[in-house]
Structure 1
Amino acid sequence: MGDVVKVACVGGGPAGLYFAILMKRTDPSHDITVHERYPEGSTYGWGVTYWRELHDTLHAIDPESARAIGDDSIRWDTWQAHVHDRPPLLVDHWDGGYGIGRGRLLAILADRAHDLGVRVEYEREITSEAELAGADLVVACDGVNSTLRERHADHFGTQVALGRNVYIWLGTTKVFGSFTFAFTDTPHGWIWCYGYGYSRDRSTCVVECSPETWEGLGFHRSGEADSLGLLGKLFADLLDGHPLIGRGTNGESARWLNFRTLTNQTWRRGNLVLMGDAAHTTHYSVGAGTALALGDAAFLVHALHSRPRLDSALAFYERERKSTIRCAQRAARNSARWYESLPRYVTLPPEQMFALLGQRHSALLPYLPPRLYHGLDQAYGSVAWLWSKIARPASRR
């Protein structure tokens, strides 16, 4: 589009880098700079997940970066569940999934951006749009704690809802061959984790529990070493002697957190637009954060090059992506509530419990007895489909 020539991306995560790549591929004349506050090679977290749909989309949009991402990804075709001392349950996954180290993903995208002529400036923290004078477009993709968004929180209508459960995002040298769930019963309640491989020698391991269990086990007064030690004992059978790791490449220790679901009434202010976690977050249990961030990037590029002026392009982007994100956030809220209601499901026969784990996105599940829901789902193939037939207004039948 004619009125966007110089672009500043604030934040060098997947969203910002992929946006810069696609903008340059669409029109090499764009002058694009990505500003990242961390040093090169430094990032929080461990591995990220993505699924077949994103895999295929990336190959269609930019095959070169997609091939590099695929080559460094670990793929799994099965899910495995360990429920206390019961025998493990192995289930074939219908479509499989992928894991890749967050640091490796960022390196691939940064290299691709550089090859296309994008400038990536590390250790460059932007705190105000005034520092980016002359930019036709400023893309705030600096995460859930976005500085640029917070400067105008009233304008954006930022709201944050805290999840009830607490979680901690860890790494481990145990490489899981399947996407693995483990649920452990303690005198203070259930604690659980899920893990997935993301490289040949590392996996992500996310641990979660209710606040009552967290406090009962003493995590509220434990330091990092003591917390990791106790978690290693609680999941000893799963880890096979491998350690849990709390400190990432950015040097920061892992912390227990309540997940923050972030929404904004609007995603734009003048030539400033929000993208990725700066605009929205979805509970980690659905594994959609990376896919949604990359989807934001791709659609924003499409909007900018299919609308004649910046204001109409940003309005188009906001309208269409907010609709997509609302659906994802509804599913994520239902998934989070499933885990918050774990005692309702965890004592079911393993096959039923795991089947309902796969149905945790359902808005209907909390309102039906779990065994009844499972029975209906087995009989009709999809309770959601059955409910749509029963609840549809008579005028539409």
Structure 2
Amino acid sequence: MKITIVGGGPGGLYLSILMKRQDPSHEVTVYERNPAGATYGWGVTYWAGLLDKLRAGDPESADAIVAASVTWTDGVAIVRDQRTVHRGDAGFGIGRRRMLALLADRARELGVRVAYEHPVSGPDAPELAGSDLVVAADGVNSALREAHSDRFGAEVTSGRNHYVWLGTTKVFDSFSFAFKETAHGWIWCYAYGFSGEQSTCVVECGPDAWTGLGLDRMNEADSLRLLEKLFADLLDGEPLIGRGEQAGTAAPAQWLTFRTLTNRTWHHGNLVLLGDAAHTTHYSIGAGTTLALEDALALAAALRDPSTPLDAALTAYGRRRRSELVSAQSAARYSARWYENLPRYMRLEPARMFALLGQRHSPLLPHIPPQLYYRLDRTAERLEALRRLKRWLGPRLARAAHRP
């Protein structure tokens, strides 16, 4: 097959590796519009469950990713000025730029052509001529998807809160949160390490705090200085770094509202969607990169048998992944809603608030007063009958909440 992948993110590069491993005679090209090494974001997170899948797909790239990652087990939260710690499962962080370089190196080693600074304008671009399969891995603003938007049935909903991706030279050895109350409302930060030199910080707040603090009007440098003051106890005096500072240029602050994207179908003819071009899930569940890599694994699996007609393979891929994503998309919706209703939980003492932060994916939580939910949850840990009731009620409330 002649396979053309538009977008050199983790999902697109990993798919190119898998397809070359399945059949070295495939002609695979990845087109990336940005220069090599130019990427948004700082570090990405993943959990141990992904590693088994990556090792099954390509042990060499999996081992390289693990070797370049940092790990943590604890969660730390600073609420106002009080610090609390929760033990948890092992998590991993790796610099996005580092991950992309490792995947690109592995792809080229297998014979994939990776072309940087090479945008593909649309479905009629000459780069796509003669392709048996075209993979749109070009992100949430996918030009290839938008050219056939009526076929894919894309739907986008925007969140209420504002957020910004930042870096810092403070190296965190745990996944850390800080919640600060201001005269205009709450503002908070998620922070995690991804190397021995830097960490990622995602700062989020509601619209009242965003405008009340003046963040809607500040340039990047001024907003960074304000955020450094607000989160001084989290950062231990280390600076925050924005996109402009990272690139050495003056730039406006990159505040965004999260857009959740879904598509009714994932392929049209020989064009198929992958990663953020197909779906997005709120960053607070830390699953974006994992889901893109799992898309690549599922698409490669669907294409493994050359006797399967392409349309049937792509249909099976889309059906499988939409089904598998239901749980993650539900968790992401409830997680985003938890943060949008943050004041509801901030009346709890910090340790209890942090416990409910870990329960934010629950469809029960929005319907039960937080103090009562906390007590029920602690009791359910000891009583099997209550655990069964919680498992039985949760999916029913979730379906009722999304019923037209």
TM-score by shorter chain over 0.5? yes
Counterpart CA distance in 2 for 1:278 and 1:391 is 30
Is 2:311 aligned against 1:274?
no
Q: What is the DSSP-based 3-state SS (H/G/I as helix, E as strand, rest coil) of the residue aligned with 1:91?
A: strand
Counterpart CA distance in 1 for 2:267 and 2:45 is 28
Deviations 1:175-194 (A, max 9, x none): 01110000001111110001
**Range moving further from structure 2, 343-352 or 103-112:** 343-352
- How many angstroms does 1:56 deviate by? 2.3
Contact 1:44 1:250 in 2 (8 A): no
Q: Pick from 106, 110, 126 the counterpart of residue 116 of structure 1.
A: 110
Q: Percent identity?
A: 61
Is 2:311 aligned against 1:311?
yes
Is 2:182 aligned against 1:196?
no
TM score, norm. by length of structure 2 = 0.93
Counterpart CA distance in 2 for 1:151 and 1:267 is 14
Match of 2:301 in 1: 302
- How many angstroms does 1:326 deviate by? 2.4
Match of 1:42 in 2: 38
Letter in 1 for 2:288: G
Q: What is the DSSP-based 3-state SS (H/G/I as helix, E as strand, rest coil) of the residue aligned with 1:43?
A: coil
Match of 2:10 in 1: 14
Match of 2:289 in 1: 290
Is 2:231 aligned against 1:235?
yes
Contact 2:362 2:394 in 1 (8 A): no
Match of 1:367 in 2: 367
- How many angstroms does 1:59 deviate by? 1.9
Counterpart CA distance in 2 for 1:300 and 1:341 is 37
Deviations 1:213-266 (A, max 9, x none): 100000111111111111011001111111110017677855110000001111
TM score, norm. by length of structure 1 = 0.94
Q: In the superposition, relative to structure 1, how do residues 202 and 385 fare at CA in structure 2: closer, same or farther (>3 Å)?
A: farther
Match of 2:29 in 1: 33
Counterpart CA distance in 1 for 2:165 and 2:394 is 40
Q: In the superposition, relative to structure 1, how do residues 57 and 166 fare at CA in structure 2: closer, same or farther (>3 Å)?
A: same
Counterpart CA distance in 1 for 2:145 and 2:180 is 40
- How many angstroms does 1:60 deviate by? 2.4
Counterpart CA distance in 1 for 2:165 and 2:315 is 35
Is 2:403 aligned against 1:387?
no
Counterpart CA distance in 1 for 2:318 and 2:393 is 34
Letter in 2 for 1:165: N
Q: What is the DSSP-based 3-state SS (H/G/I as helix, E as strand, rest coil) of the residue aligned with 1:220?
A: coil
Q: What is the DSSP-based 3-state SS (H/G/I as helix, E as strand, rest coil) of the residue aligned with 1:175?
A: coil
- How many angstroms does 1:380 deviate by? 1.1
Q: What is the DSSP-based 3-state SS (H/G/I as helix, E as strand, rest coil) of the residue aligned with 1:221?
A: coil
Kindly report which structure 2 residues correspond to 1:46-57, keeping only aligned pairs within 5 A, or say none.
Answer: 46-57=42-53
Contact 2:364 2:393 in 1 (8 A): no
Match of 1:99 in 2: 93
Counterpart CA distance in 2 for 1:207 and 1:151 is 34
Q: What is the DSSP-based 3-state SS (H/G/I as helix, E as strand, rest coil) of the residue aligned with 2:257?
A: strand
Number of aligned residue pairs: give it: 387
Contact 2:77 2:178 in 1 (8 A): yes
Counterpart CA distance in 1 for 2:6 and 2:158 is 25
- Structure 1: which 5+ residue stretches go unaligned? none
Q: What is the DSSP-based 3-state SS (H/G/I as helix, E as strand, rest coil) of the residue aligned with 1:255?
A: coil
- Structure 2: which 5+ residue stretches go unaligned? 397-404
- How many angstroms does 1:389 deviate by? 4.0
- How many angstroms does 1:58 deviate by? 1.3
Letter in 1 for 2:346: V
Q: What is the DSSP-based 3-state SS (H/G/I as helix, E as strand, rest coil) of the residue aligned with 2:265?
A: coil
Contact 2:154 2:261 in 1 (8 A): yes
Match of 1:320 in 2: 320
Deviations 1:30-71 (A, max 9, x none): 000000000111111100000010122212221111111011
Letter in 2 for 1:358: G
Q: What is the DSSP-based 3-state SS (H/G/I as helix, E as strand, rest coil) of the residue aligned with 1:242?
A: coil
- How many angstroms does 1:387 deviate by? 2.8
Counterpart CA distance in 2 for 1:392 and 1:176 is 36
